[in-house]
Structure 1
Amino acid sequence: MVFRIELRRTIAPWAGLALVVVALGFLFLLSGPWWKVPAPWTGNTTTTALWLRFLLVFLWPIAVGAGAIQGMRDSRSGMVELLSTTSRPGRHRALRLAGAVGALSALGVVVVFAVGLAEVLGHGGFVSASFLPVLFVGLLAVMAGSWIGLAIGRLLPHPLTAPALAVLTMAVSVLAWTSLEGSAAVSYSRFGLLTPVLGEPRGMLTTTATSVDLGQVMWFAGLAATGFLLLAANSARARVLGLLPAVAGAAIALPVFPASADGLLAADSIAEKLCDGPICVSRAHEDRLAALAGPGREALAMLARLPGAPTRIEERTSPTPLADPPPRDPGVVYLDFQLNDDLLTADASALRAAVLSGAGLPACVRPSYGDLSDLGGRMIAAAYFTGELKQLPEYDGGWFRQESGRLDQAWQKFRALPADVQFARIVALRHVLLTCQGDPLDTLVPGALR
C-alpha cells in the first residue's frame, strides 16, 4: 500500500515514461546507424541491447535528473524538520522512495528492450542469451543513476540542482562515449566505463566482454549503495560513510576493466563457426555455407597457383574497425557478411568473384570511402582468374558506374601484358594488400588513373 502511494506521489512514472519516449523516438523517428549494416538493431537481441546501452548517453542523464527533482520533494514541501522528529528510521522511507523511482526508471528500459525484442522476432533476427548481462548492467546503471540523483537532490535542494546535474551527466556520458568509440580526439580510458554508455555496435556478432560486465556490475552496485545510504543519512558522519561503497566499487572495477579498447567486445554465441571443410561461416549465416561451398572451393583452387596462397575461407566475425583496415591473413580469405550484406544474396558467380577479389585479400580502406584504386585493383585481380571483369558484390554506389569505363581500359591494358608479367603483378598486388602500403591499381597497371 505504502509503495503504491509512493508511486502516485513521486515522479517515478513520468521518469520511466520519459525514458521510453526518448529511446523509441530515437530508434523509430531518426534514420540512425541502428537501422543499418553492420549492426542493425533488429538483427540480434544482443545487438538490440548494445544499441540501448549506446542510447544511455541520452537516457542516463534523464534518470539522474529525474531522481534529483524527486530528491528535493521534502525540502520543497517544508517537511525536513518534521520528518527528522519521527521515530521511523530514515532508511524505511528512503527504501520505498528509492524503490519506486528506481523500479519505474528501470521498467522504462525494459519496455524499450521489449519493443526491440518484438522487432527482432518480426524481422527474423536471432535471439541469444548474450543480451542478458548487457541489459542487466544497463538496468543496474539506470537504477544507480536515479538513486544518486535522489541523494544529490536531497542534499542540495536548489532549483538549479536537477538541470545542472543532468547537463553534467550528459557531458560526462558524451566524453565517455567518445573515449570508448575509439575517436582520435579522445583516447581510450578505463574511466569511460564508469558510465553505462557504450560505443556504437560495429557488428551483430559481438557482445560485451566478461571483464566489462563484471567491472561495471561492481561499480554500479557500489554507486547504487552510495546513493541509497546518502538518501537515508541523517548525519554528516553517515554521509561520509555512505561514500565508501562507490569508492570500493571503483577501486575493484577499474583494474578489472580492459586495458585497451580492443578488449571491450567479445564474440556472441551466434558467432560460433560452422565449417564445410576449409570453408566456415558463423551460425548466424549458416544458410550461406551451402551456397559458398562450391564456388569457394573453385576459387581456392584458382588461388593455389600463387605463392603462399590461402587455403581457407572464413566469415569475419570480429567487430569492424573504425579507422584501421581490417586484419588480414595470407592463408585465409575473409568474407564480411555483416559489413557487406550484398554477399547474403550473391549467386555462385558473385561469391566466387568475392573470394578472388584482391587475389584473396580484403580492401585496405573502408567501403564508404569509395576508393577507385583499391576497388579497381581487386576487381582486376578477380578478373585475372575468371577472364571477365565484373562488378564485385559490394560498392553499388553511383560513383562506381561513372568510373567503370576507366577500369575497363585498365583491364584491357592488363590483359595485353605477357602472362608472366601478369602473374608477377598479381603477386605484387597481394603484397600491397597484405601490408596496405602502395597503390593496388597502379601496381597492376601503372598510370591507369592518370
Structure 2
Amino acid sequence: MSILRIELRRSAAAGAALLTLAVGVAALYLAPGRWSDGWMSLALSTKEYMLLLWPLALAAGAWQGRREHRAKVGELFDTTPRSPARRMLPVLVAMGATLGLAYLLVVVAGAVRIASTAAYFPPDVVAIVLVGALSLVAAAWLGLGIGRLLPALVTAPALAVAGVLLVFFTAIMRPDWMSATLSPAYGSNSFYPFQTIDSRVTGALAIWMGALAVTGVLLLVTRSPRARVAAVLPVLLGFGAAAAIVPRDEAALIAPIDPVARELVCTDDAPKVCVTRVNANVLDTLTPLAREGLAVLAKLPDAPTQVHEDARLFFSSGFSTEAAPPDRDIVTIDVRIDDRGGLAHPAAVVPAIVFGLGANTGTMVCPRNGPVERAAAYYLLDREPVSDVGVVPDMISEEPEFNAEAVTLWQGLRELPPAEALSRVAAVRDAIVACRDSTGVLSR
C-alpha cells in the first residue's frame, strides 16, 4: 500500500484522473438538456463523451509508460530481483483505479442533478456505466503497454489523435455488429425516447475492452520480442468472443427500445392523463394542463376524454412506422423535459391538444389544410389565431400569409351562430379523421 500511495503521488495517475473528471463533468454540464430526462440518458451521454475521455486515458497511459525510459533507469530496474509484473503492478492499479473512479464520479456528478426528478431507473444503466469505467481502464493499460514498447515523446499525442479517430469513426458507422463490438461510444449518438442498449452489446464491449486491457498488461510486463508479438493474441481472442455474442438483428442494433420505459402511467381519476414511465415525474404538472385542453375540445360532439403521451418512436425525419392509437377518445401529445428534469414548454400543452382538434390519422399521409385547422382550433380557444412561432416548440419561421388566411377564416366563424360555427369545426375534424382535404369546409 505504501508503494501504491507513492505511485499515486508521483505518477500521472492522479493528474490524469482529475483531468478526466474535469473534462467529463464540463462536457455533461455544457448540455444538461441531453440527459435531464432520466438515468439512461445520463449513462448514454457520459458514454458519448468517450470521444474525449477514452483518448485522454490512452494518452495518459502512454505518457506514464515511458517513465523508465525518460528517467533512463530501465536497465537498472531489470537487474533487481523483483519480476517486471510485480514492479508494474502498482502503476497498473494506480492508473486503472483512478481513471475508472473518475468515470464513475462523472456519472455521479450528473446523478446529483437528476436524482430528484428521474422517475425510472433501468437496470441496464448499472452495466453500461461499469463497462464505461472498464473502457477507461482498458485505454489506460493499453496506453501503458504501448508507451513502454514505443517510449518516444510523440507516442502519447499520437495515441490521443488515433484514439479520437477510432472512437469517432466507429461511433458514426451505420449501426452494425462491428461498430457495436469496437466502439466504447456505441449507442450514444441517437438520443430518442425510451432508448436503451441491448445487454448483449454491453457484454460484447466488456469482452473487447477486457481483451485490450490484457494486451496492454502483457506489452507492459514482457521483455522478449516473441512475447510481445504473442500479446496480440488476447485482442484476437477477445474480438472473436465479442463478435460471437453481439447481436446481428437490426431491432437490437438500430434504435432498440426499453418496453418498460414507455409503459403508460396514468392518473387514477378522470379525465385520464397518461405519460410514459420514464416521464412519470411530470404527470402532476401535465394533468391540469391536459384537462384544460380536453375541456376546450369538449365543445365538440364526441370529443376525446383522455390525453396520452405519444409513445411512438420517431426517426430524425419526423416519421414513425408505428401507428397512432386508433381510439378517437384519446389525444396523443409529445411530452418534453427541460434542463431541470421538469415539464418543458407548459404553455404549449393546451395548444398541442387543441390544434389537432382531437383527431389522428395514424400513419396515413393525408391532405391537410393548415389555415383551416388553425382557424378551427383558435375558434375553440376563443382567441385570434397567431403564428406558431413562439407557440409550437422548435417552430422558427412561418410565412405571414399562412396566419393571415387563418385569421380571415376565424373571423368568418365568429360571424356565424355558435351552433353553426361548431358544426363546421366538427366537420373539419371529421375530414381529418377520414383523411379528406378540409379546404372550403369553413367557408361553405
TM-score, scaled relative to structure 1: 0.75
Q: Secondary structure at the match of 1:356?
A: coil
Provide, for residues 168-213 of structure 1, a one-character-per-residue CA deviation record: whole Å limited to 9, x for no partner: 110121212323xxxxxxx333332312114346246433332322
Letter in 1 for 2:336: Q
Deviation at 1:147, TM superposition (A): 0.9
Given the alignment, which residue of 79, 88, 97 partners 1:94? 88
Q: Secondary structure at the match of 1:170?
A: helix
Structure 1 runs, 4 residues or longer, greater than 6 Å off: 296-306, 339-344, 362-365, 384-389, 412-425
Q: Matched residues in 2 for 1:26 and 1:348: separation?
A: 31
Deviation at 1:406, TM superposition (A): 3.5
Q: Does 1:274 align with 2:265?
A: yes
Gaps of 5+ in 2: none
Deviation at 1:429, TM superposition (A): 4.1
| 2:246 alignment partner in structure 1 | 256
Q: Matched residues in 2 for 1:364 and 1:26: separation?
A: 41
Q: Does 1:246 align with 2:224?
A: no
Deviation at 1:394, TM superposition (A): 2.3
CA contact (8 A) 2:372 2:409 kept: no
Q: Does 1:190 align with 2:177?
A: yes
| 1:394 alignment partner in structure 2 | 392
Letter in 2 for 1:247: L
Q: Matched residues in 1 for 2:364 and 2:17: separation?
A: 45
Provide, for residues 142-164 of structure 1, a one-character-per-residue CA deviation record: whole Å limited to 9, x for no partner: 11111111111111122221111
Provide, for residues 47-89 of structure 1, a one-character-per-residue CA deviation record: whole Å limited to 9, x for no partner: 2222111111111111111111111112222333333343323
Q: Matched residues in 1 for 2:202 and 2:413: separation?
A: 53
Q: Matched residues in 2 for 1:354 and 1:418: separation?
A: 16
Given the alignment, which residue of 211, 232, 256 partners 2:200? 211
CA contact (8 A) 2:376 2:425 kept: no
Question: Residue 387 and residue 214 in structure 1: after superposition, are their counterparts in 2 closer, same or farther (change >3 A)?
Answer: same
Question: Residue 424 and residue 161 in structure 1: after superposition, are their counterparts in 2 closer, same or farther (change >3 A)?
Answer: same
Letter in 1 for 2:236: V
Question: Residue 113 and residue 428 in structure 1: after superposition, are their counterparts in 2 closer, same or farther (change >3 A)?
Answer: same
| 1:134 alignment partner in structure 2 | 128
Q: Matched residues in 2 for 1:145 and 1:6: separation?
A: 19
Q: Matched residues in 2 for 1:268 and 1:137: separation?
A: 23
Q: Matched residues in 1 for 2:135 and 2:171: separation?
A: 15
CA contact (8 A) 1:53 1:138 kept: yes
CA RMSD of aligned residues (A): 4.2
Q: Matched residues in 2 for 1:396 and 1:137: separation?
A: 35
Q: Secondary structure at the match of 1:338?
A: coil
CA contact (8 A) 1:57 1:170 kept: yes
Q: Matched residues in 2 for 1:224 and 1:374: separation?
A: 60
| 2:20 alignment partner in structure 1 | 19
Provide, for residues 116-142 of structure 1, a one-character-per-residue CA deviation record: whole Å limited to 9, x for no partner: 122224x74447254322211210111
Question: Residue 232 and residue 64 in structure 1: after superposition, are their counterparts in 2 closer, same or farther (change >3 A)?
Answer: same
Gaps of 5+ in 1: 180-186, 366-372, 433-439
Question: Residue 351 and residue 427 in structure 1: after superposition, are their counterparts in 2 closer, same or farther (change >3 A)?
Answer: closer
Q: Does 1:157 align with 2:151?
A: yes
Larger Rg over CA atoms:
2
Alignment of 1:51-450 (within 5 A): 51-121=45-115, 124-126=117-119, 128=121, 130=123, 131-179=125-173, 187-193=174-180, 194-197=182-185, 198-200=187-189, 202-203=191-192, 205-254=194-243, 255-257=245-247, 259-260=249-250, 263-267=254-258, 271-275=262-266, 280-282=274-276, 283-287=280-284, 290-291=287-288, 294=291, 313-317=307-311, 320-326=314-320, 327-329=322-324, 331=326, 333-338=331-336, 345-346=346-347, 349-350=350-351, 352-353=353-354, 356=357, 359-361=359-361, 376=371, 379=374, 382=377, 394-395=392-393, 399-400=397-398, 402=400, 403-409=402-408, 429-430=432-433, 443-445=437-439
Q: Matched residues in 2 for 1:220 and 1:3: separation?
A: 24
Question: Residue 115 and residue 363 in structure 1: after superposition, are their counterparts in 2 closer, same or farther (change >3 A)?
Answer: farther
Q: Matched residues in 2 for 1:297 and 1:19: separation?
A: 50
Q: Matched residues in 1 for 2:301 and 2:204: separation?
A: 47
Question: Residue 295 and residue 267 in structure 1: after superposition, are their counterparts in 2 closer, same or farther (change >3 A)?
Answer: farther
Q: Does 1:43 align with 2:37?
A: yes
How many residue pairs get aligned? The number is 412
Q: Matched residues in 1 for 2:53 and 2:370: separation?
A: 41
Q: Matched residues in 2 for 1:375 and 1:199: separation?
A: 36
Using the aligned pairs only, state the percent identity.
27
CA contact (8 A) 2:36 2:114 kept: yes
Question: Residue 109 and residue 147 in structure 1: after superposition, are their counterparts in 2 closer, same or farther (change >3 A)?
Answer: same
| 1:9 alignment partner in structure 2 | 10
Letter in 2 for 1:394: V
Q: Matched residues in 2 for 1:343 and 1:15: separation?
A: 37
Deviation at 1:383, TM superposition (A): 5.7
Provide, for residues 216-238 of structure 1, a one-character-per-residue CA deviation record: whole Å limited to 9, x for no partner: 22222222222222222233343
Q: Secondary structure at the match of 1:116?
A: helix
Letter in 2 for 1:128: F
Letter in 2 for 1:215: A
Q: Secondary structure at the match of 2:257?
A: strand
CA contact (8 A) 2:144 2:216 kept: yes
Provide, for residues 66-113 of structure 1, a one-character-per-residue CA deviation record: whole Å limited to 9, x for no partner: 111111112222333333343323222232211111111122222222
Question: Residue 431 and residue 410 in structure 1: after superposition, are their counterparts in 2 closer, same or farther (change >3 A)?
Answer: same
Q: Secondary structure at the match of 2:357?
A: helix
Structure number with higher helix proportion: 1
